[in-house]
Chains A and B, each alone.
Chain A
Amino acid sequence: MEVIYITIGVSIIVAVFFFAAFLKSLKSGQYDDTYTPSVRMLFDDELVKDSKVNNLK
């Protein structure tokens, strides 16, 4: 059953990776506002007309 050490080991590494990501996102203020993002994503619609300025394709 040595393989269990691999699965647990890898699972923990993955978990630590995500935990670090969580802390980092928390510290960088990602979750300071838990309302605006949900509304903002409703207004990401494309522009209708092409003004051909500052094309950063």
Chain B
Amino acid sequence: MEKEQFYYDNKIVKMFLWATVLWGVVGMLVGLIVALLFIFPGLLEFTGSDNAISWLSFGRLRPLHTNAVIFAFVGNSIFLGIYYSTQRLLKARMFSDVLSRIHFWGWQTIIVAAAITLPLGFTSSKEYAELEWPIDILVVLVWVVFGINLIGTILKRRQRHIYVAIWFYIATLVTVAVLYIFNNLELPVTGFKSYSIYSGVQDALLQWWYGHNAVAFFLTTPVLGLMYYFVPKVANRPVYSYRLSIIHFWTLIFLYIWAGPHHLLYTALPEWAQNLGTVFSVMLIFPSWGGMINGLLTLRGAWDKVRENPVLKFFVVAITGYGMATFEGPMLSFKNLNAIGHYTDWIIGHVHVGALAWNGFMASGIIYWVATKLWKTELYSKKLANTHFWLGTLGIIFYAIPLYIAGFTQASLWKQFNPDGTLVYGNFLETVTQIIPMYMIRAIGGTLYLLGFILLAVNVIKTARAGSAVEDELAEAVPLKKISGKRVAGEPVHTWLERRTVLFTILTTVAILIGGLVEIVPTFLVKSNIPTIASVKPYTPLELEGRDIYIREGCNNCHSQMIRPFRSEVERYGEYSKAGEFVYDFPFLWGSRRTGPDVHRLGGKYNNNWHFNHMFDPRSTSPGSIMPRYPWLLKNNMNASNLEDKMTALAKLGVPYSDTDISEAKQALLAQAKEIETSLRQDPEFVKNYGNSNVQQKEIVALIAYLQRLGTDIKAGNTALK
């Protein structure tokens, strides 16, 4: 059998490597900044606190951080590893250089678009799916390009056996595509505003079906694939058990997709759905630990190499972090532990063990190793890499432990009762100020980790300068066709055309499937949006505008709107949240973290003036609060120019706005705004400070209207079922 010679595309790997380094620094820096905002809420108010810049506030920067580290840093690191390993495992150059380049530049365009639009307040509010609809479409297109490139390469492979890593990449490709599309089905209103086609409980379930699987199929499966390639490669010994890798791959992908509801335990989601999530989450520990054990035991008998090789050190901590996070995940899916952990910093600590140890350290190890292969030289400084390793490891410890303490402390403070049945910490703020020291230690941990990663950047730049890049690397292998022609006698030759047909069939089937469901889904969902609680009414035009401001400012990043049926929560916030109350919530805004108190029953709790002063300066009404200031809400004129379009869109989705409601929306909005201004003017202090301004036209009035509406529909006591 004659061997063919061909070239691996190293240039695309190099491009993704630089992108990983760049976005890693950026994403972690934004993370550090938002961590510092917990300690110094006025940190970014360089223009004077009364003129704070809206796009630098916490609610807008937090999604920027999460998107940057997940999709920009980890995303690029995954592509770096996939493009390097796929070519070598399949003994083939990538299917198309053009597609590789489109994939790379398309992905970077998405990242830049996200970095611009998220601070500007263009957000769908759904976690890790915040990007608005035009960028969503771009994401899908780029993903399809990646898909064609990957499947194309598999089809033209010269190695018949598909190594387990490739299977992990395939699972990632297919599942991320399906989940992303379904969670981002939205009805556009303007260029950068849309409404989720699902509302309330339905939207919540779909969001966390996606959200959990973003962790599963974006942060886990591809990285496991990378583990199965790079750990044996670097250690130069085969994986502990190839059989185990196959078993745990198939188990993992069949179980993972069902675990989403564990993000919604004790919420208004039907209990059977919650329990389904718990059961699958608990089962997940087996395949997860199968992977961890397989990764760590690959190093059996090679621990001396770990001592000498910084790359293996990174891998060992990464895999250990994976084991810890995947132990904690199933544990937190038990309802009794979830009751403590949910809404607290425990979860933030948990995800950072995954992000910093598993994703960050796998990426770092891969970058160091691939750099030596790309530039054909030794690493510039092993010592520097070791320093990075220790800074990073200390960073993880100083990050996670304080947040575990903070989470547990705050949860127990929330639940403490006096003998007379009142809450010991009735003022939510007291439970926040208690954990500020933990936020300080967390920021130190984050700083250490970022410093370590900057050392990596220096080290890789120096390595690249010292070596010389080989952009197209020569390799040789026996072509596959000849073997297949021999094995199956009489079978038609796998011609180029046929290979194209296979690809074409797969893609069209997926397209038809998705297209068909996209058509069908909204029609029957609209019916299901019929309210089940008679007193729950759609938002008024002004409240709707206020709600969109709430979404724009990212209030849901710190405030939940979901009171769980616990004595401590009902005592603190009021009647627990019912599924039927959220039928007009497009999208749902339940939130996942209570940095501030729950706001579901906020309506009527304070007067309008309190809200006005609180939004201008939270510390004027709540001394010691760490909430950002929103002075621009008092200055910006409300932009209600799309009001009718918004209401028409919502009417299409099932909100019972009549034609008259829509045509008279502007008048209704003005009337309600005027009412709020009149009430604000009853306070002499307000008249003294803002007496001359036309407050009814400002954004703050809409937000107050929305906040005063929250949870009031059933406050009147009318919970009768229709």
Using a CB–CB cutoff of 8 Å, the interface residues on chain A facing chain B are 1-4, 6-7, 9-11, 13-15, 17-19, 21-22, 25, 30-31, 33-42, 44, 46-47, 49-51, 53-57
Contacts and interface: CB of A to CB of B under 8 A. Distances in A.
| Binding site secondary structure of chain A | helix
Interface stretch (B231-239, B390-398, B627-635): B231-239
B474 A42 contact: no
Interface string B29-48: 00000000000000000000
Nearest to B526: A2
Contacts of B209: 7
Contacts of A46: 8, 473-475
B189 interface: no
Contacts of B246: 31, 34
Contacts of B248: none
B528 A41 contact: no
| Binding site secondary structure of chain B | helix
B202 A1 contact: yes
Interface stretch (B129-137, B250-258, B346-354, B406-414): B250-258
B162 A2 contact: no
A31 B242 CA distance: 10
Contacts of B236: 42
Contact of A25 (B162, B203, B254, B517): B162
Given A3-B198, A6-B521, 8 more contacts: A6-B517, A7-B209, A11-B257, A13-B513, A37-B161, A38-B238, A38-B239, A42-B237
Interface of B: 4-8, 88-89, 91, 93, 159, 161-164, 170-171, 174-175, 178, 182, 198, 201-203, 205-206, 209, 229, 232-233, 236-239, 242-243, 246, 250, 253-254, 257-258, 260, 270, 273, 472-476, 513, 517, 521, 524-525, 527-528
Given A3-B206, A38-B232, A44 B171 contact: no
18 contacts: A1-B270, A2-B525, A2-B527, A3-B198, A3-B202, A3-B528, A6-B182, A21-B170, A36-B161, A37-B164, A37-B242, A38-B242, A41-B229, A44-B475, A47-B475, A50-B474, A54-B4, A56-B5
Q: Which of A21, A41, A47, A57 has the most CB of B within 10 A?
A: A41
A21 to B, nearest CB: 8
A43 to B, nearest CB: 10
Given A41-B229, A57-B6, A17 B162 contact: no
A14 B242 contact: no
Nearest to A32: B161
A42 B232 contact: yes
Nearest to A28: B160
A18 B89 contact: no
Given A2-B524, A46-B8, A15 B163 contact: no
Q: Which of B239, B257, B475, B517 has the most CB of A within 10 A?
A: B257
A39 B162 contact: no
B205 A18 contact: no
Contacts of B202: 1-3
A51 B7 CA distance: 12
Contacts of A42: 232-233, 236-238
A51 B243 CA distance: 38
A47 B205 contact: no
A25 to B, nearest CB: 7
A15 B254 CA distance: 6
A42 B230 CA distance: 10
B258 A35 contact: no
A46 B163 CA distance: 18
Q: Which of A10, A22, A57 has the most CB of B within 10 A?
A: A10
Contacts of B475: 44, 46-47
Nearest to A48: B474
Contact of A22 (B229, B250, B513, B521): B250
A54 B163 contact: no
Nearest to B472: A57
A1 B528 contact: yes
Given A3-B525, A44-B89, A51 B273 contact: no
Contact of A7 (B161, B206, B476, B527): B206
Contacts of A47: 5, 474-476
Contact of B6 (A17, A21, A56): A56
Contacts of A3: 198, 202-203, 205-206, 525, 528
A31 B476 CA distance: 25
Contacts of B91: 44
Contact of A54 (B5, B174, B182, B473): B5
Given A2-B202, A34-B242, A14 B178 contact: yes
Nearest to B240: A38
A39 to B, nearest CB: 5
Nearest to B93: A57
A30 B273 contact: no
A5 to B, nearest CB: 9
Contacts of B175: 14
A49 B470 CA distance: 12
A17 to B, nearest CB: 7
A1 B201 contact: yes
User: Which 4 pairs from chain A and chain B are nearest by CB?
Assistant: A3-B202, A38-B238, A38-B242, A2-B528
Contacts of A57: 6-7, 93, 472
Contact of B206 (A6, A39, A49): A6
B251 to A, nearest CB: 11
A50 B475 CA distance: 9
A42 B528 CA distance: 55
